[in-house]
Chain A
């Protein structure tokens, strides 16, 4: 079965045009016009990637994100009005993996979706099992355990953790992580990394306010330690 994309957008014509453009990439597109509809459609048949416009009537994009995240680790791309608002951070905190600002070129969207799909595949770290104190990573199975208990990470969070784990103790700059996890170049948005690290900490740290595993190195980036 081909890749399925669920789009949530209240403007009918945009929806139709984006569907046409994405279908040109060979993907199956299911379109919905509201958050409620999207929840229903996703429950009926889960998608491989969800594209959400933040500005929706009724249930807004943030709420939809949180709703989907309760049951799924599906990659989510959100569409915001602009890049310099709090919307971006709020959307990422609600569980989105990446964002685009409107109007975006469909080519750009396809590129983002392809990056997310690549990420969804298992990672090669060359290790069967990595342990950092009470934190254990099983890359091949896509599993992470904290004190023996399995954690639910999204695919992006997992990929981020694996990147950091690929070279324990080494400092990874934001640019490096943007490149390796998101496939962005020099002009990627560092907030993607910061918010995802924050999200990761709420899961892998017993005290997220005083992280012991995913440590910030001021002015340089992040590092994973036991």
Chain B
């Protein structure tokens, strides 16, 4: 359709996926941001805390080493001994140009040059944190005033890394949970957001299916209200138009009935006096009689089909024994002696049907076989594929219906591709369309196929819901 909005086609993802995706990405970004910030802040606070603790401890130890060096000279090792346990801090002393370290692992090589220079050369206490063999460490250096020595401590922050990685792990877990909640919330929100659209889609389907009085419910929501109002206005306009069209067809047919009534009554009066007429007038009368009845059939079909279009057809359903019904319907049709074969199981099948409308269906199929088929016509009543259907099949020995025309023959005024196949007593072309409408209203379907016995000819089958009596 020309008027279809292109915007609707440009997005590949559905609205629901888009809403869900937005919620998911939003929750993910937000949780990553929060977790990252929390991690960085925690890390900074912990590092500062450990730093301060290391500096405090280093000053304490430096004082002890200073005292030891001053009172009990001269032994750096002894001074270090006097410190006792220092936890995970590794002390070093630079005394009389010699390094003494408690741990061989944390010798003077482990200290950054800059720190050593500032403490020993500039005599300024200094602190520095750096990576040592893959571990974060903090080194504190303090010049000892009394003993003209320098005290260093290297503290490993490895345990802090452990703490931080477990914090990071928890935060990542929290972020994952938040994202998952985002997905759930997104799915829920998407469903809620699309619900009115689903209602609208269902209503549109109902309208397309012929229930033109379908409307969306009024809603307090302003955004949705606008959609509902627009939708309902459209449906009303459509209904009005369809009704106007249907009324026109119905009005035309109604108007035709009165002249038709006069025609058929007058023709009957003439027919009663046919023998009194000259030969040429008799021929003219015969033509008149035939076409008045054809005209009458056409108007009746038009009326009936306009009733379908207006949705005004009300079936008078009653339980009918299919076999009995078909035999009766054949007996009032245009080919009363058409043979009817009923399968054993179909004999007991009952349908809920409108007797007179279904008789019309059978009559139309027989007329169709007579006018457009030809040869011997037969009717078969059998149980369907399932247990709940009956098939009424009308077979002829005509040329059959080509595959590409098998849908089209049920359209109104459909003419077969080969016009030559149709005789001069051509039906109106509404007969099969009416068959289709009637059968569908009964919850059944109709189709045309090849004869089952492989001989040339068409087989029209109507399938109706049935039960065993």
Which positions 303-350 of chain B face chain A at CB distance < 8 Å? Answer: 303, 307, 312-314, 316, 318-319, 325, 328, 331-332
Q: What are the residues of chain B within 8 A of A189 when measuring CB–CB?
A: 356
- Is A14's CB under 8 angstroms from B261's CB? yes
Q: What's the nearest-Cβ distance from chain A to residue B259, in Å?
A: 8
Cα distance, A106 to B318, chains bound together (Å) = 30
**Does any Cβ of B come within 8 Å of A24's Cβ?**
yes
**Does any Cβ of A come within 8 Å of B265's Cβ?**
yes
- Is B266's CB under 8 angstroms from A17's CB? yes
For chain A, the bracket of interface size reads 20 to 34
Q: Which 10 A-B pairs rank lowest in CB-CB distance, beginning with the nearest?
A: A17-B265, A186-B328, A103-B261, A13-B262, A103-B260, A17-B262, A21-B265, A20-B269, A17-B266, A14-B261
A82 to chain B: closest residue by CB: B303
Contact of B356 among A16, A18, A83 (CB under 8 A): A83
Q: What are the residues of chain A within 8 A of B299 when measuring CB–CB?
A: 103
**Does any Cβ of B come within 8 Å of A90's Cβ?**
no
**Does any Cβ of A come within 8 Å of B359's Cβ?**
yes
Which positions 152-183 of chain B face chain A at CB distance < 8 Å? Answer: none
**Does any Cβ of A come within 8 Å of B247's Cβ?**
no
Majority SS of interface residues in chain A?
loop
**Does any Cβ of A come within 8 Å of B104's Cβ?**
no
Contact of A14 among B254, B258, B314, B359 (CB under 8 A): B258
Q: List 17 A-B contacts (CB under 8 A).
A: A14-B258, A14-B261, A24-B269, A82-B303, A82-B307, A84-B307, A84-B316, A103-B296, A105-B264, A105-B268, A106-B264, A106-B265, A106-B268, A185-B332, A186-B355, A187-B328, A189-B356
**Does any Cβ of B come within 8 Å of A102's Cβ?**
yes
**Does any Cβ of B come within 8 Å of A151's Cβ?**
no
- Is A21's CB under 8 angstroms from B268's CB? yes
**Does any Cβ of A come within 8 Å of B63's Cβ?**
no
Mask for A137-172, Cβ within 8 A of B = 1, else 0?
Answer: 000000000000000000000000000000000000
**Does any Cβ of A come within 8 Å of B445's Cβ?**
no
Q: What's the nearest-Cβ distance from chain A to residue B130, in Å?
A: 98
- Is A103's CB under 8 angstroms from B264's CB? yes
Q: What are the residues of chain B within 8 A of A84 when measuring CB–CB?
A: 307, 312-314, 316
**Does any Cβ of A come within 8 Å of B257's Cβ?**
yes
**Does any Cβ of B come within 8 Å of A217's Cβ?**
no
Q: What are the residues of chain B within 8 A of A190 when measuring CB–CB?
A: 316, 318
**Does any Cβ of B come within 8 Å of A11's Cβ?**
yes
Q: How many residues of B contact A (CB 8 A)?
A: 31
**Does any Cβ of B come within 8 Å of A58's Cβ?**
no
- Is A20's CB under 8 angstroms from B265's CB? yes
Which A residues are closer than 8 A to B by beta carbons? 11, 13-14, 16-18, 20-21, 24, 81-84, 102-107, 185-187, 189-191, 219
- Is A17's CB under 8 angstroms from B269's CB? yes
**Does any Cβ of A come within 8 Å of B272's Cβ?**
yes
Q: What's the nearest-Cβ distance from chain B to residue A218, in Å?
A: 12
Cα distance, A14 to B265, chains bound together (Å) = 8
Q: What are the residues of chain B within 8 A of A105 when measuring CB–CB?
A: 264, 268
Q: What are the residues of chain B within 8 A of A11 when measuring CB–CB?
A: 258, 261-262
Q: What are the residues of chain A within 8 A of B266 when measuring CB–CB?
A: 17, 20-21
Which positions 220-258 of chain B face chain A at CB distance < 8 Å? Answer: 254, 257-258
Cα distance, A133 to B260, chains bound together (Å) = 52
Q: What are the residues of chain A within 8 A of B318 when measuring CB–CB?
A: 190
Q: What's the nearest-Cβ distance from chain A to residue B311, in Å?
A: 12
Cα distance, A106 to B268, chains bound together (Å) = 7
- Most central of A84, A107, A189, A191 by chain B CB within 10 Å: A84
- Is A187's CB under 8 angstroms from B355's CB? yes
- Is B269's CB under 8 angstroms from A21's CB? yes
B314 to chain A: closest residue by CB: A84
Contact of B261 among A24, A83, A102 (CB under 8 A): A102
Q: Contacts A20-B269, A24-B272 hold; do A187 and B332 have CB atoms under 8 A apart?
A: yes
Q: What are the residues of chain A within 8 A of B331 when measuring CB–CB?
A: 186
Q: What are the residues of chain A within 8 A of B356 when measuring CB–CB?
A: 83, 187, 189
Cα distance, A191 to B354, chains bound together (Å) = 13
Cα distance, A8 to B325, chains bound together (Å) = 36
- Is B264's CB under 8 angstroms from A187's CB? no
- Most central of B254, B258, B259 by chain A CB within 10 Å: B258
Q: What's the nearest-Cβ distance from chain A to residue B116, in Å?
A: 111
- Is A102's CB under 8 angstroms from B269's CB? no
Cα distance, A168 to B219, chains bound together (Å) = 62
- Is A81's CB under 8 angstroms from B355's CB? no
Q: What are the residues of chain B within 8 A of A13 when measuring CB–CB?
A: 258-259, 262
Cα distance, A13 to B269, chains bound together (Å) = 14
